[in-house]
Amino acid sequence: MQRTAFFISDGTGITAESLGRSLLAQFSDVDINMQTKPYIDSLEKAQNLAAIIDATAVRDGQRPIIIDTIVDQQIRDVIRQASGFKVDIFSTFLEPLEQELATHSSYSVGRTHSIGSDDVYMDRIHSVHFALDNDDGARTHQYDKADVILVGVSRCGKTPTSLYLALQFGIRAANYPLTEDDLDEDGMLKLPKALAPHRHKLFGLTIDARRLAAIRNERRPNSRYSSMDQCMQEIEQAEALYRRLHVPYIDATRFSVEEISTRMIAETGLARRFSPR
């Protein structure tokens, strides 16, 4: 079965999309075409979108799913008249909360993903800059300021995880690649000197060799770097190092960046400077 879902907002649409995707992910037997429609902040935009929803219902032979966080009542009324199954997040959750808290919601557009306080905003900026400055072992003299140092073989997901930790939680994450340059005379991977004083901050990433080879092949096709033998050897050495030094690590093969980050935080107890937005 195929259906269409619209995530609609008069702001960024992030809240509607996040909640909508979480809900619809529970229906794995339904093929759902998901479309995000942000900044529906005028009657004209709402009317145009309602026409699109109506046309989609005719095309699919099924009414689309509508998940919205529209604040303006007039715009909500226009969307409500479209040929869709409507999940009104604000009406569903805010009205019971208003009764429980004995006060009225502000019904303000963009409150969840606004900049917020200056301190939180600057923490976010500083953390992202730190992740960029300390990416891929580029600088090691700032590791005393790092909250965590991600280690792993090349292309296992260290950079996107570092940036996500910075952007979503304000965690200052550096990352360092484990390479053949770190092999000792016996061919065993040793801890790089730059990391030795910061062993307590290390967190390792590993990945399935087939997946790593595919990723590397996009960057350097048909090279030793992307060969299965090379990938297997590097991963085995990295995992042996983690076990030998009791470095916590996670297999990133089947996890999204969001899952890797939250699992890491849960396992290490890293302190968030702010909540994700």
162 is in an annotated binding site: no
154 is in an annotated binding site: yes
126 and 51, same structural domain? no
- Name the stretches of the chain with pLDDT < 70: 1, 106-118, 275-277
In the block, tokens 């942000």 appear at 38
158 is in an annotated binding site: yes
pLDDT at 115: 45
Task: Output the domain CATH number for residue 143.
Answer: 3.40.50
Domain range for 190 is 118-268
Query: How, if at all, do strands 202-206 and 173-177 pair?
Result: unpaired
pTM metric for this prediction: 0.69
249 and 157, same structural domain? yes
213 and 93, same structural domain? no
99 and 82, same structural domain? yes
- For 259, phi and psi rounded to 5 degrees? -70, -40
153 is in an annotated binding site: yes
pLDDT digits 0-9 by tens, 22-72: 889 899 889 999 999 999 999 999 999 999 999 999 999 999 999 998 888
159 is in an annotated binding site: yes
How many Å apart are CA 201 and CA 207, to the nearest integer?
A: 20
